[in-house]
Amino acid sequence: MSDEKSLNFIEEIIEKDLAEGNYTNILTRFPPEPNGYLHIGHAKSICLNFGLALKYGGKTNLRFDDTNPSTEETEYVNSIKEDVEWLGFTWANEFYASDYFENLYQYAIQLIHKGLAYVDDSTSEEIAEQKGTPTIPGKRNKYALRTVEENLQLFADMRNGKYADGAKVLRAKIDMANANMLLRDPILYRIKHAHHHRTGDNWCIYPMYDFAHGQSDSLENITHSICTLEFIPHRALYDWFIEKLEIFPSHQYEFARLNMTYTVMSKRKLLQLVNENYVTGWDDPRMPTITGMRRRGYTPESIRDFCDKIGVAKRENLIDVGLLEFCVREHLNKIALRRMVVCDPIKVVITNFHNEVELLQSENNPEDSNGGFREIPFSKEIYIEREDFMENPPKKYFRLAPGQMVRLKSAYIIKCDEVIKDANNNIIEIHCSYIPESKSGHDTSGLHVKGTLHWVSIAHAITAEIRLYDRLFTVEDVANETEDFKTYINENSLTTIAKVYAEPALQDSNISARYQFLRKGYFTVDKEATNNQLIFNRTVTLKDTWAKEIKKQ
């Protein structure tokens, strides 16, 4: 079932597995730890796991990897489900690693029975020291000599709360000299008298990631367990447990995590930004979180397209955020309703327009033939953008200037006749005349003008606040800089314009609407908007302004 695009390496593996009959049903999983909100890196993993299952007629489980009681919260669980759904994916099952605590406990007992696990009373410092270094083999201590019976008893006592945190651990007995340090008798269980968001106080011992993840995969019959490159050394351990426990043979495959320019992509760092008030919350529109991007106006389609375009790499790389913005622009161009908004107004009086109002028709979206029309009121007094007028323009200035003509979008051609100033020489208003034969769509004037300006009728305009966002950091590769990442915060990442003038069609905007404000960018309604106060977030500019900056240098 290959399409035109060449297969990525995981697709090749799956096609081979299907061809050889290793598996008949492809089952993947997305395994977030509920200790923060999902970010665009997770979106990559979601699109990959769900996308593969969809492509090969399989299924995907959503599994919360909630084995660490101290950092996990139900708030995060709910946000993760919301984000996965919003991205457009449906999971076959909602599972929790914590649901397997009893299974995992029994697996540990099996290992003890086989002489493959023991209770160790050493401190974490002693354990670290006995482990050796990559070049010096580790040494086993006396606790490794404990009998099966002794270990069974001690492990049961651990579970029953007989010991304090850190007093004992359960370790696998593998190979203290292995070049892969993770195989040097890794810890399987630690004691932690902590409340768990699901299991409450039922447990005071918790399995380590390595002892939980592979077995959870296996319990669910996951065929292809996809994770990021840092788990390569863990694969040997993943396979060892499955082999020794003789359980369903899930297999782990690793791909390069997504890193993106001008942002950070670790929940720990994102949490710092939230807790230290660098941003207003996880859903701040400058955050690389899915909830932040949603609030900013990104669409699920554009994020999926981005994840598809970056492909599946085997080596770490840094993706230009410009590519994400390109994908967003491409999608919004197709769906966004065109509207006119003036941010920094200057008044224009159309001296020869004598009707109270004329309702003009304008296409909602020229890219969408089914997009329909809206009405725009035109009247004697309008606002245009201050920067669209110059009293003494240079050559090739095609906007409004004394004696010059421009077209008002979807309306008429106007000519600037006079500039009215106050005693201090400040411009108060500009007097223009309009050409009645030049109406857009019915133009018989024979005039050709180069500039088209957006505008609003003053009497009909509504006001709104707009919020413009820029990169959250000033350097490309934030994670690889020498100083603390917060040193590189962009102080100017948010610009608020408290009062802009908008055409009345924007009055009934709702949170899911996407707009292109002519010449300004793509916008969406912010969640803080009320009936009395419209607020718009700029999702993305119309063009890549940063690309221009780079060319200029």
**What is the contact surface with ligand ATP in residues (CB under 6 A)?**
31-33, 41-42, 44-45, 65, 227-228, 257-258, 265-267
- If the CB atoms of residues 38 and 414 are measured against Mg ion, the closer one turns out to be 38
The structure tokens listed for 395 are 């050559």
- If the CB atoms of residues 9 and 373 are measured against ligand ATP, the closer one turns out to be 9
Residues 27, 221 contacting (CB under 8 angstroms): yes
Q: Segment 182-241, which members bind Mg ion (CB under 5 A)?
A: none
Q: Residue 45's binding partner, choosing from ligand ATP, Mg ion, none, with beta-carbon cut-off 5 to 8 A by kind? A: ligand ATP
Q: Residue 51's binding partner, choosing from ligand ATP, Mg ion, none, with beta-carbon cut-off 5 to 8 A by kind? A: none
Q: Give the whole-angstrom CA distance, residue 305 versus residue 485.
A: 29
Residue in 33, 150, 254, 363 annotated catalytic: 33
- If the CB atoms of residues 53 and 337 are measured against ligand ATP, the closer one turns out to be 53
Q: Residue 257's binding partner, choosing from ligand ATP, Mg ion, none, with beta-carbon cut-off 5 to 8 A by kind? A: ligand ATP
By CB under 5 A, the count of residues binding Mg ion is 1
Q: Give the whole-angstrom CA distance, residue 220 versus residue 93.
A: 10
- If the CB atoms of residues 33 and 465 are measured against Mg ion, the closer one turns out to be 33
Residues 364, 372 contacting (CB under 8 angstroms): yes
Q: Does 254 bind Mg ion (CB under 5 A)?
A: no
Q: What share of the chain is helix, strand, coil (3-state, %, to 5)?
A: 35, 25, 40
- If the CB atoms of residues 268 and 499 are measured against Mg ion, the closer one turns out to be 268
Q: Residue 333's binding partner, choosing from Mg ion, ligand ATP, none, with beta-carbon cut-off 5 to 8 A by kind? A: none
Q: Segment 33-52, which members bind Mg ion (CB under 5 A)?
A: 33
Residues near 188 by beta carbon (within 8 Å), at least 6 away in sequence: 108, 111, 117, 169, 170, 171, 172, 207, 208, 210, 211
Q: Residue 320's binding partner, choosing from ligand ATP, Mg ion, none, with beta-carbon cut-off 5 to 8 A by kind? A: none
Q: Residue 265's binding partner, choosing from ligand ATP, Mg ion, none, with beta-carbon cut-off 5 to 8 A by kind? A: ligand ATP
HEC readout, 41-86: HHHHHHHHHHHHHHHCCCEEEEEECCCCCCCCCHHHHHHHHHHHHH
Enumerate long-range contacts of 504-512, CB under 8 Å, 24 or more apart.
504/377, 504/460, 504/461, 504/462, 505/339, 505/374, 505/375, 505/376, 506/339, 506/341, 506/462, 506/464, 506/534, 507/462, 507/534, 509/534, 509/536
Q: Residue 60's binding partner, choosing from ligand ATP, Mg ion, none, with beta-carbon cut-off 5 to 8 A by kind? A: none
Residue in 257, 269, 380, 439 annotated catalytic: 257
CB of 84 to Mg ion, least distance (A): 16
Q: Residue 31's binding partner, choosing from ligand ATP, Mg ion, none, with beta-carbon cut-off 5 to 8 A by kind? A: ligand ATP
Concerning whether 267 is annotated as a catalytic residue, the answer is yes
The structure tokens listed for 246 are 């003789």
Q: Among all residues, whose Cβ is closest to ligand ATP?
A: 41
Q: Give the whole-angstrom CA distance, residue 372 versus residue 337.
A: 10
Q: Give the whole-angstrom CA distance, residue 280 versus residue 295.
A: 12
End-to-end CA distance of the chain: 47
Concerning whether 380 is annotated as a catalytic residue, the answer is no
- If the CB atoms of residues 64 and 163 are measured against Mg ion, the closer one turns out to be 64
DSSP per-residue string spanning 440-456: TTS--S----S-EE--E
Contact window for Mg ion (CB under 5 A) among 27-35, 184-192, 335-343, 361-369: 27-35
CB of 48 to Mg ion, least distance (A): 16
Residues 405, 450 contacting (CB under 8 angstroms): no
Q: Residue 228's binding partner, choosing from Mg ion, ligand ATP, none, with beta-carbon cut-off 5 to 8 A by kind? A: ligand ATP
CB of 189 to Mg ion, least distance (A): 19
- If the CB atoms of residues 80 and 342 are measured against ligand ATP, the closer one turns out to be 80
Output the CA–CA distances (angstroms, integers) from residue 275 to 86, 267, 391, in the order listed.
Answer: 25, 12, 50
Concerning whether 33 is annotated as a catalytic residue, the answer is yes
Residue 90 burial (C-beta neighbours within 10 Å; 0-12, 13-18, 19+) = exposed
Q: Which of helix, strand or coil describes residue 509?
A: coil
Q: Which of helix, strand or coil describes residue 321?
A: helix
How big is the chain, counted in residues?
553
Q: Give the whole-angstrom CA distance, residue 270 versus residue 132.
A: 34
- If the CB atoms of residues 33 and 429 are measured against Mg ion, the closer one turns out to be 33
Residue in 44, 171, 235, 267 annotated catalytic: 267
CB of 65 to ligand ATP, least distance (A): 6
CB of 278 to Mg ion, least distance (A): 22
Q: Give the whole-angstrom CA distance, residue 261 versus residue 478.
A: 7
- If the CB atoms of residues 31 and 377 are measured against ligand ATP, the closer one turns out to be 31
Contact window for Mg ion (CB under 5 A) among 32-40, 145-153, 408-416, 545-553: 32-40
Which parts of this chain interact with Mg ion (CB under 5 A)?
Answer: 33
* Catalytic residue annotation: 33, 257, 267
